[in-house]
Amino acid sequence: MRVYGRKTAYVNTAIIIINVLCFLYLELQGSTENAGFMLAHGAMFAPLVVDHGQYYRLVTSVFMHFGVSHLMNNMLVLFVLGDNLERALGHVKYLIFYLLCGVGANLVSMTVNLMMGSLSVGAGASGAIFGVVGGLVYAVGVNRGRLEDLTSRQLGVMILLTLYHGFTSMNIDNAAHIGGLAAGILLGILLYRKPRRYMGYGI
């Protein structure tokens, strides 16, 4: 019997590196904890997107973080979970999936903020990361509770802890988290295909 090793999840690694490089670049230019500075460099702000057509912010804000702890917390979760989903989807699909989840999370957040009249500057990869979690929820479910070494119980605990942290902390965009999670489940249904198992017969 031939045993195949796991494929390298180089897209997920590249996304993490890009996030770190963007953070370092911004820190060298100013302060990532300053909302005005972040806004000037591509963070999300609904009026600028809706009224001025600055749609690029839906993407650029996904690679920006408010301070080193914000960056490290998000990259740690992405490092732990992202490679599983990349191997399940494939490299190209995973990149498309990640970007669409980030944009989708921002759209949901923007809509909720406009409806509530809450105009805040937003940035961070957490919406896209919740999308990764959503994709894994679907993939794990389809595979009867396990995907590689990831079980439905482990994933469920992580989701509950992350949501609890979001709803009990200040300045956390829960609309983006929920929007990303929903986008991830939907895109998982559209993009993920359970591998077929082939039976070999001796002659």
Known catalytic residue at 52: no
How many helices (H) and strands (E) are present in the chain, helices listed first? 9, 2
Residues 6+ apart with CB under 8 A from 125: 19, 62, 63, 65, 74, 75, 78, 102
With tokens 């077929």, the residue in question is: 196
Q: Which of 61, 65, 109, 126 is catalytic?
A: 126
**How many residues are present in the chain?**
203
Which two tokens mark 125? 């990869």
**Residues classed as catalytic:** 126, 177
